[in-house]
Amino acid sequence: MKILHLIDSGGLYGAEMMLLSLAKQQIKNGMEPTIGSIRIPDIAYKAIEEEAVKLGIELHLFNMKSGFNLSGSVDILKYAKNNNFDVIHSHGYKPNILLGLIPKSIRKIPIISTKHGYTSTVKFSKMHVYQLLDTFALKFVDRIVLVSRAMLESNEINNLPTDKIELIENGIDITHPEMIYEDQNKIINSHIEDDTIRHSLRKFCDDSLLLTSIGRLSAEKGYDVLIQAVSILINEHHLKIKLLLIGDGIEKDNLLRLANELGIAENLFITGYIDNAKFLLPLADIYVISSHTEGLPITLLEAMSFSIPIIATKVGGIPYVIDNEREGLLVESAKPSEIADAVLRITKDKNLANGLIFNSASKLRSMFTSEVMAEKYTRVYNQVSTSLPD
């Protein structure tokens, strides 16, 4: 079976890592996936494009101007037909909008779309308009895949046809034992290309307890709450602790300003965007997700795979992966004191920390691997492939 995966990528974040894991597993299963990268002409290779090449995944570049692009829709559909793809698999609002409105009688290739989560937007902003168009376009695709059970309860799903909705939770490739190093400098030197960041990070990672989180620096990630929690741990509990945020985004300046106001600027390090950020996870003593909203975060699964105790908010699909007190500690969102208390529990109780690590690794292997995910997608592909008229 030939699958054309479409994505307009802005980095190697959750959706991109899920797509790469899925495509790698599909190759192992004897399928023929191609990643179709939607991009503005004449730009440098995107991170997902570079990673696809490294992994030996077939790559095709769809160069088109930004915004709604009818000629871009035609180009994608023409490429898919000329190369005899069996299924088009969309990963994001842009390919949904470009192809979702094309009648089945014209496209003749089934389309499924994976909803990786929802980003908070300002009403009437450009992104808000895109989300409205996305919701409308999704009514015309053949299947809509949600990545967490919690998404079934979201307001956005109420506007979608329920008979087209499938639940397939994210999975990851957990075969990376060669990437786990005990030496901090070796981890940093192997996965940080920028000399300045590499040097600064080596100095930052001393003998302090290191909290880590990976993601876009956007409001819904709740990183301001996490910084407040670190302030509580330093100023009230006198804990020797630091916070490493791996990512970039519009909230960066606000987060740095907050840390400075709280007097903990030296305890915060923001790396900016890092390719394959998951390979920095062995630096962490505790992984924290402070989000206000989530789907099923890939970084949660990655932290589970690297045997790190986890603290996470009770949002989105997280409680369906983490049972509180079993695979991790769950806290309410927007509650810095609860994050601080959870950190103290893990640091003071080694048996608790070891139990969380063991249980999360076991659940990951049984439920959230790329093998399990790929098998479920194959069933959906087979269903939609037989649903279109000749």
pLDDT, residue 126, reads: 67
What lies within 8 Å, CB to CB, of 156 at 6+ separation is 118, 131, 135
pLDDT, residue 350, reads: 97
pLDDT, residue 65, reads: 86
43-93 residue pLDDT tens: 999 999 999 999 999 999 999 987 768 899 999 999 999 999 999 999 999
pLDDT, residue 175, reads: 78
pLDDT, residue 66, reads: 79
- Coil, strand or helix at 211: strand
**Rg of the chain (C-alpha set):** 21
- Coil, strand or helix at 75: helix
pLDDT, residue 218, reads: 94
pLDDT, residue 294, reads: 87
CA 302 to chain centre: 10
pLDDT, residue 389, reads: 53
For each of the chain's 390 residues, which pLDDT tens digit applies?
999 999 999 888 889 999 999 999 999 999 999 999 999 999 999 999 999 999 999 999 999 987 768 899 999 999 999 999 999 999 999 999 999 888 888 999 999 999 987 555 556 566 677 788 888 999 999 999 999 888 888 777 887 888 999 999 999 988 765 555 568 888 998 889 999 999 999 999 999 999 999 999 999 999 999 999 999 999 999 999 999 999 999 999 999 999 999 999 999 999 999 988 999 999 999 999 999 988 889 999 999 999 999 999 999 889 999 999 999 999 999 999 999 999 999 999 999 999 999 999 999 999 999 999 999 999 999 999 876 555
pLDDT, residue 122, reads: 59
Reading the block at residue 361, the tokens are 């690794």
pTM of the model: 0.81
pLDDT, residue 123, reads: 62
What is the C-alpha separation between 301 and 287, in angstroms, rounded? 11
pLDDT, residue 32, reads: 98
pLDDT, residue 129, reads: 77
Residue-by-residue DSSP string for 240-300: -EEEEEEB--TTHHHHHHHHHHTT-GGGEEE-B--TTGGGGGGG-SEEEE--SS-SS-HHH
Residue 372 DSSP one-character state: H
Beta-sheet pairing, 32-39 with 58-63? parallel
193-213 residue pLDDT tens: 999 999 999 999 999 999 999
pLDDT, residue 295, reads: 80
Q: Which contacts of 327-331 are long-range, i.e. CB under 8 A and separated by 24 or more positions?
A: 327/356, 327/359, 327/360, 327/363, 328/356, 328/360, 329/356
